[in-house]
Structure 1
Amino acid sequence: MGLNISAKIDKSSGFCFGVVYAIEMAEDILEREGSLYCLGDIVHNDEEVERLTKKGLKIIDHQQLESLQDEKILIRAHGEAPSTYQLALKNNLTLIDASCPVVLKLQNRIKTSHEEDEQILIFGKHGHAEVIGLRGQTDGKAIVFQDLAELDQMELPKKFTLYSQTTKSTEKFYHIKNELINRGFEVKANDTICRQVSNRYIELEHFVANYDKIIFVSGKKSSNGKVLYDVCKKYNEQSYFVSSIEEIDHGWFNQNDKVGICGATSTPMWLMENAKNALEAF
């Protein structure tokens, strides 16, 4: 006898418009031409990357890009630093630019701040593709930090401009801003967090409260996934993080459980639908 689980997918979960745009662009070219280079993982989700790789998408890194000539390269939603565009001109590469408009706007704002000789701090994840592109607008001079504790180890100027990676927590950003002002710094703060992402915190908070258990589906590389999973865990302790259907454990559930399924902005809807089908088959 089965567990008789009823599972429902959160309608606000799944790809944000920036990721949808990049994937649709890739699929159009793959359908026509059968292959396409992409600089870095098109999305921080291994299952979706694998699906597109089977269609002919070739993931390359910056080192491999340097040796390519006369090729077509997709720039994913995270955006790129100016050096990538300079290399493309030098190597006669055609860039298919799927940079998210929210990220492009932020890049331009940071570039303007840098040109006006402002000292720039970026609240973001070290090594994240978007953050590398943002820091690139400042010739590598912006200070990137992941939390306040990191800033405690630094000698900061008295006056600076504060920006944020687009997928960071709004709450944390304002906490950092207020704390720095309280410490006597002159902070010009720019809230550059994507509202399509930040609105999900509120939506998730309401969604997860309605279920016995929560299955949060996300790639392990997704920084947005980590933040959203923390929201799930905060409002429903019975929340479980999985990257693939195989990771769902039968032992987590009881008879007649109501299970909510949600995911990151990099989680494909088909993967959440697979999770729903797997749960209802238990």
Structure 2
Amino acid sequence: MFNLSVDIDINSGFCFGVVYAIEMAEDILNEEGHLYCLGDIVHNDEEVKRLEKMGLRIINHEELKSLRDAKVLIRAHGEPPSTYQLAIQNNLELIDASCPVVLKLQNRIKNSFDKEENIYIYGKHGHAEVVGLLGQTNDQAVVFQDIEELNLEELPSEITLYSQTTKSTDKFYEINQMLQENGISVKTNDTICRQVSNRDKELREFAKKFDVIVFVSGTKSSNGKVLHKICADQNPRTHFVSSIGDVKSEWFGKDERVGICGATSTPMWLMEEIKGHLEKL
């Protein structure tokens, strides 16, 4: 027996956008027993499996084209205008669970596009949220993951800068400063969700308090990769797991203190399950 003392980070787990989407899905599944969802409702396989047992069916954009007369959930990441147009053509009822923070950002980008501004978006190529943002500009905005992707000498003298909502605030302002230092006039729009970005600071403090950190996240979660690195930088004995099956007893010593934390897409029930497992080791 290891006799581990285990604590879960109270700030970890679903952000309000994900809570909102899952509650909408559960309400319909409880009433009707089936619902389509465009893309993974959340980047966590264990949570997706739980909802699939309730009757959720994950479909992709290709499958959406041939779907008719059905209810389809739009997840928290949001969608481009083309998805809404397709829904009208195919008589689909969209249950729109787009995160309010994402919707506000989409509107701001659309306004900038209507004013014919040069729009640059700091975000992950191909990420669902970014695809929705690009759609507001007829795919004309420039998306970059790193400032090194941009040729600063060829950039317009004036640009409008936005960010995917889950990016690091520090990195965003670093990029903003570099652009200005290179003589570019930047109209900066800080559109990063503070519920997500504040987790950086909270996790730094949390990771230092324990002998071992078990970071729980789905492998598809961008936010999970970023937050896991933050924990690992503070505590080298940080281990990434997606389910109980990934936990290894050789990570722990007798009477050690273990902290469990996770991404904005990690369900609390999964962290509780892992806590119970560790307490039995």
TM over 0.5: yes
CA drift of 1:153 comes to: 8.4
Instruction: Indicate the residue corresponding to 2:271 in structure 1.
Output: 272
Q: Distance in 1 between matches of 2:39 and 2:263?
A: 18
CA RMSD of aligned residues (A): 1.1
CA drift of 1:67 comes to: 0.4
1:252-267 superposed matches below 5 A:
252-267=251-266
User: How has the CA–CA distance of structure 1 residues 153 and 249 changed in structure 2, closer, same or farther, with 3 Å as cutoff?
Assistant: farther
Q: Distance in 1 between matches of 2:207 and 2:155?
A: 40
1:31 equivalent in alignment to 2:30 = yes
Q: Distance in 2 between matches of 1:52 and 1:100?
A: 19
Structure 2 counterpart of 1:28, which letter? D
Q: Distance in 1 between matches of 2:154 and 2:256?
A: 53
- Quick check: 149-158 or 47-56, which moved more? 149-158
Q: Distance in 2 between matches of 1:153 and 1:249?
A: 47
Q: Distance in 1 between matches of 2:160 and 2:236?
A: 37
Structure 2 counterpart of 1:56, which letter? G
1:142-181 superposed matches below 5 A:
142-152=141-151, 155-181=154-180
| Structure 1: runs of 5+ lacking an equivalent | none
Q: Distance in 1 between matches of 2:213 and 2:154?
A: 43
SS where residue 12 of structure 1 aligns? coil
1:108 equivalent in alignment to 2:110 = no
CA drift of 1:193 comes to: 0.3
CA drift of 1:119 comes to: 0.8
Q: Distance in 1 between matches of 2:10 and 2:57?
A: 31
Instruction: Indicate the residue corresponding to 2:136 in structure 1.
Output: 137
Q: Distance in 1 between matches of 2:169 and 2:10?
A: 22
CA drift of 1:199 comes to: 1.1
- Quick check: 147-156 or 126-135, which moved more? 147-156
SS where residue 208 of structure 1 aligns? helix
Instruction: Indicate the residue corresponding to 1:60 in structure 2.
Output: 59
Q: Distance in 1 between matches of 2:6 and 2:213?
A: 9
Instruction: Indicate the residue corresponding to 1:89 in structure 2.
Output: 88
Q: Distance in 2 between matches of 1:126 and 1:28?
A: 33
| Structure 2: runs of 5+ lacking an equivalent | none
State TM-score, norm by structure 1. Answer: 0.98
Instruction: Indicate the residue corresponding to 2:205 in structure 1.
Output: 206
1:139-165 deviation digits (Å, cap 9, x = unpaired): 000111111121148942221111000
Q: Distance in 2 between matches of 1:220 and 1:128?
A: 14
SS where residue 160 of structure 1 aligns? strand
Structure 1 counterpart of 2:130, which letter? V
CA drift of 1:236 comes to: 1.4
Structure 2 counterpart of 1:168, which letter? K
1:188-245 deviation digits (Å, cap 9, x = unpaired): 1111000111111111111111100100000111111111111111211211111111
- The alignment covers a number of residue pairs equal to 281
State TM-score, norm by structure 2. Answer: 0.98
Q: Distance in 1 between matches of 2:150 and 2:44?
A: 31
Instruction: Indicate the residue corresponding to 1:193 in structure 2.
Output: 192
1:50-80 deviation digits (Å, cap 9, x = unpaired): 1101110000001100101111100000000
SS where residue 170 of structure 2 aligns? helix
Structure 2 counterpart of 1:238, which letter? R
- Structure 1 stretches of 4+ moved >6 Å: none
Q: Distance in 2 between matches of 1:215 and 1:158?
A: 46
SS where residue 126 of structure 1 aligns? coil
